[in-house]
Amino acid sequence: MVVAYRIDQQRLWDSLMKLAEIGSSSPIDQEGITRLSLTKSDLQARGALVDLMEEVGLDVRIDTVGNIIGRWEGTDSTAPAVLTGSHIDTVQQGGIFDGALGVLGAIEAIRTLMEAGVQLKHSIEVVSFLDEEGTRFGTGYIGSKAMAGELKENVFDLIDDDGITYREAFLQANLDPALYKDATRNKGEIKAYIEMHIEQGKVLEEQGLSVGIVTDIQGPLWLDITITGSADHAGATPMNMRKDASLTMAEIILNIETIAKKYDGVGTVGKMTIEPGGVNIIPGKASFSVDLRHVDKVKRAEMVDAVYESVERACQKRNAQYLIDIKKDVDPTSCSEEIIQVLEGACQDLTIPTMKLQCGAGHDSLIMSKMTKMGMIFIRSKDGISHNPKEWSSKEDCATGTQVLLNTLVQLASK
Ligand SMILES: [Zn+2]
């Protein structure tokens, strides 16, 4: 079935650029956009989003954790709703498209359908989830976790760089942290969740495609590893008598590369510190982070085991001790096969060439997959850059993805 409702490319682009003005300092491609959750700029953007949803004619409500939800009522108001959206908070000096495209694209798609006088059986809800990025308080997916019943109360004790607790930030934004559980939805109320997002990688660009269909989302597992050796004199201690924490760490880091390649996953050490940090002192302590990802939960567990073994081996060899702390553990997940098929059908109907690909970054969709069928549309990112002022997706690609989203929503909400 070919759906003939065409989204307005320029109107979508204008709405993206207008939202980008909030929290940005010029030039935007150098300074970027900073809208950390519930800060002044985020609150301003949230207000603008509510205004836009109301202007379009959506029924807007804000749930108890601050998720902004714009509902377009279907002909059967008791039928479960199709949810679509993303987030409008950003990282420090982030870009125009991460999150915002998913929210504004969903609004454009529904607006187009409303203007054409279309009526669908299922209601569609555009959701802008609170604090996806987690930059301000160190942990993200707050809105989607609350909706899926996964949020823990201790999140409100977290403190930002200015000493403000999440509880205080909630109260300042007229949200009552005590009511967070009321944001949890019944599984029966939701038919599916579909999110359009920039790819944040280079796969689509390399393949020359505007749009991709996500099959799996990698789950991140973060470790903090501390190696303790002995901080002795660099001149007076022979090589065979050392307990060098830095060399032990180096050996483990190279092993992590080998392990990631062996299991076809990814492994990254992005942070490290060496103590005491003197030119003529053997490093007595080395601490580093490890980020391990795989789309297969079992394979990721095997990668983790291999890292533990490698730490054990390196420490034994160099007479060092270690401590491993698990900082984050999110299960990888697969997108719904049914939604993947609907997305493929939409691309076919629109004669838009596409491909299936995996997703390396975390998204609200990862959390929403715990409660409903989930699908994701990826849009080409220029040079794979994101979380950066230079993040860019073209006007045409944003429109193409939004058109695929529209057709997909029509399919999902029709029957
Ligand atoms: Zn995002």
- In the three-class reduction of DSSP (H, G, I as helix; E, B as strand; rest coil), residue 62 is classed as strand
The Cα–Cα gap between 49 and 27 comes to: 23
Is position 69 within any domain? yes
Q: Of 329, 351, 380, at which residue does a domain stop?
A: 329
CA of 393 to the centre of ligand 1 (A): 14
CA of 331 to the centre of ligand 1 (A): 18
With a CB cutoff of 8 Å and minimum separation 6, the contacts of 389 are 28, 29, 30, 31, 32, 33, 93, 94, 95
Q: Is the dihedral of CA 300, 305, 309, 315 positive or negative?
A: positive
CA of 169 to the centre of ligand 1 (A): 21
Could you tell me if 41 and 115 lie in one domain?
A: yes
CA of 88 to the centre of ligand 1 (A): 8
Q: What is the pLDDT of residues 218-258, one digit of tens each?
A: 888 999 999 999 999 999 999 999 999 999 999 999 999 99
- In the three-class reduction of DSSP (H, G, I as helix; E, B as strand; rest coil), residue 31 is classed as helix
Could you tell me if 325 and 336 lie in one domain?
A: no
Q: Of 311, 329, 347, at which residue does a domain stop?
A: 329
Could you tell me if 138 and 265 lie in one domain?
A: no
Could you tell me if 295 and 399 lie in one domain?
A: no
Could you tell me if 236 and 372 lie in one domain?
A: no
Could you tell me if 259 and 296 lie in one domain?
A: yes
Could you tell me if 408 and 265 lie in one domain?
A: no
Is position 194 within any domain? yes
Determine the pLDDT at residue 3.
52
CATH of the domain at 246: 3.30.70.360
Is position 245 within any domain? yes
Could you tell me if 225 and 167 lie in one domain?
A: no
Helix boundaries (H) for 135-239: 142-147, 166-172, 203-207
Is position 3 within any domain? no
DSSP string, 163-208: S-BHHHHHHHTT--GGGGGGGPPPGGGEEEEEEEEE--SSHHHHHT
Nearest to 364 by CA among 356, 374, 354: 374
CA of 102 to the centre of ligand 1 (A): 9
Angle at 277 between CA 275 and CA 282, to 5 degrees: 80
Determine the pLDDT at residue 330.
84
Is position 119 within any domain? yes
With a CB cutoff of 8 Å and minimum separation 6, the contacts of 164 are none
The Cα–Cα gap between 23 and 385 comes to: 20
Return the DSSP state at 209: -
The DSSP element (H or E) to which 104 belongs, if any, is helix 100-115
CA of 303 to the centre of ligand 1 (A): 26
The Cα–Cα gap between 49 and 19 comes to: 8
pLDDT, the chain, mean: 96
Q: What is the pLDDT of residues 9-29, one digit of tens each?
A: 999 999 999 999 999 988 888
Q: What is the pLDDT of residues 134-145, one digit of tens each?
A: 999 988 999 999
CA of 405 to the centre of ligand 1 (A): 17
Helix boundaries (H) for 157-265: 166-172, 203-207, 245-263
**Helix 297-317 crosses helix 245-263 at what angle (to 10 degrees)?**
150
CA of 385 to the centre of ligand 1 (A): 12
Could you tell me if 38 and 123 lie in one domain?
A: yes
The Cα–Cα gap between 152 and 135 comes to: 18
CATH of the domain at 135: 3.40.630.10
Residues present in the chain in total: 415
Could you tell me if 111 and 237 lie in one domain?
A: no
Is position 1 within any domain? no
CA of 363 to the centre of ligand 1 (A): 6
Nearest to 154 by CA among 136, 188, 177, 175: 177
Is position 4 within any domain? no
Determine the pLDDT at residue 48.
98
The Cα–Cα gap between 95 and 80 comes to: 34
Distance of CA 118 to the CA centre of its chain: 32
Could you tell me if 127 and 212 lie in one domain?
A: yes
Nearest to 391 by CA among 98, 95, 101, 19: 95
Q: Annotated binding site for Zn(2+), which residues?
A: 87, 98, 133, 197, 387
Number of folded domains in the chain?
2
Angle at 152 between CA 149 and CA 157, to 5 degrees: 145
Q: What is the pLDDT of residues 270-317, one digit of tens each?
A: 999 999 999 999 999 999 999 999 989 999 999 999 999 999 999 999
Residue 70 predicted with pLDDT over 90: yes
CA of 165 to the centre of ligand 1 (A): 23
- What one-letter code names the amino acid at 335? C
The Cα–Cα gap between 332 and 347 comes to: 26
Domain boundaries, position 22: 9-218+332-414
Q: What is the pLDDT of residues 87-111, one digit of tens each?
A: 999 999 999 999 999 999 999 999 9
The Cα–Cα gap between 344 and 213 comes to: 8
Could you tell me if 336 and 303 lie in one domain?
A: no
Q: Of 294, 329, 364, at which residue does a domain stop?
A: 329
Is position 213 within any domain? yes
Q: Does residue 133 contact residue 363 with C-beta atoms inside 8 Å?
A: no
